[in-house]
Amino acid sequence: MTRGSRFPWLGPLPVALLLPLLALLALLPAPSAAAPEKAKDMSGNNGCRLQDAKAFLKRSAFVRRGQLDGKKHLTALKYRVERYGHVDGLGLEKLNSETAISNAASARFMGHSLSVHKKIVPALRCVEKRIRKTCKKRAEQYTANAVGGFRTANSFRGGEVSNHLFGIAVDIDPEKNPCCGCVSPWPEHPACQGSAASIFERTALPRCWIDAFERYGFYWLGRDPDLRDTMHFEFLGDPDRIIP
């Protein structure tokens, strides 16, 4: 092959020059060598996949202006039971014989211990890594004084089931980050008074903290149009896709 039929741009080269050149080309990396870098980007460089909260799991998908859509709520509830375990009293034990609370694990977040479902511990670690890496400006510096996770008592009314019962919700500093749409005395909190350009003005949490949670499948309940619960984050991604 004196004309390099597989490489027409080589032109008519003598065999003595063509063979060494082909050997050199064989040493070059294949196009697929860039794939690991793409996978690295998809994991956010922190060890967790980047993912959004699932729309059908968000409270606003089944509660509008205080009215609960039972069918949509049940769909979201079944998803949680199947993946995290059942909660006594809901009548969904057939979907998962394990209780959610039996899967509780101790975790650390920003210097505090809390109990959450073992499946979301890696995501919580990735959130902290992201916060420590990116929230370095003076306006973004924040010290959490209180962090909560698992609960055994429901905190919602009207048939709703709190994600705290599944161990996939985290509250940060309720005294500084109020739930402006919850029952009294929350609406009387100073941060809930007067007009505000956005919900971010009603919380002490820096925007970069909120962004870090939402990067890894958590949903900030401050975005809920009814509750505006600024202390509350809940994992609404796919727990089986947290780690690549």
pLDDT in tens, the chain (244 residues): 444 443 333 344 444 443 443 344 444 444 443 333 333 335 556 689 999 999 999 999 999 888 999 999 999 999 999 999 999 999 999 999 999 999 999 999 999 999 999 999 999 999 999 999 999 998 888 999 999 999 988 877 678 999 999 999 999 999 999 999 998 899 999 999 999 999 999 999 999 999 999 999 999 999 999 999 999 999 999 999 999 9
In degrees and rounded to multiples of 5, residue 232 shows phi and psi of -110, 125
Predicted local confidence at residue 44, as pLDDT:
56
Determine, yes or no, domain membership for 160: yes
Q: Is residue 4 in a domain?
A: no
What pLDDT, on the 0 to 100 scale, is given for residue 203? 97
Beta bridge partners of 180: none
In which element (H, E) is residue 114 found? strand 112-117
**Residue 46's pLDDT is what?**
65
What is the per-residue pLDDT for 35?
36
Per the domain annotation, does 217 fall within a domain?
Answer: yes
For residue 208, is it within any domain? yes
Q: Quick one: pLDDT at residue 65?
A: 84
pTM equals 0.81
Q: What was the pLDDT predicted at 42?
A: 53
Q: What domain count does the chain have? A: 1
pLDDT of residue 244: 92
Indicate whether 49 belongs to any domain. Answer: no
| 75 part of a folded domain | yes
Q: Classify residue 29: in a domain, yes or no.
A: no
Phi, psi of 139 (to 5 degrees): -70, -15
- At 153 the pLDDT is 87
Q: Determine contact, residues 80/147, Cβ cutoff 8 Å.
A: no
Structural domain of 202: 55-241
- With respect to residue 154, please indicate whether it lies within any of the assigned structural domains: yes
Contact 98, 84 (CB under 8 A): no
**pLDDT at residue 156, as a whole number:** 77
pLDDT number for residue 139? 80
Q: Can you say whether the dihedral through the CA atoms of 204, 208, 212, 217 is positive or negative? A: positive
Question: 179-210 in b/e burial notation, b at 16+ Cβ within 10 A?
Answer: bbbbeeebeebebbeeeeeebeebbebbebbb
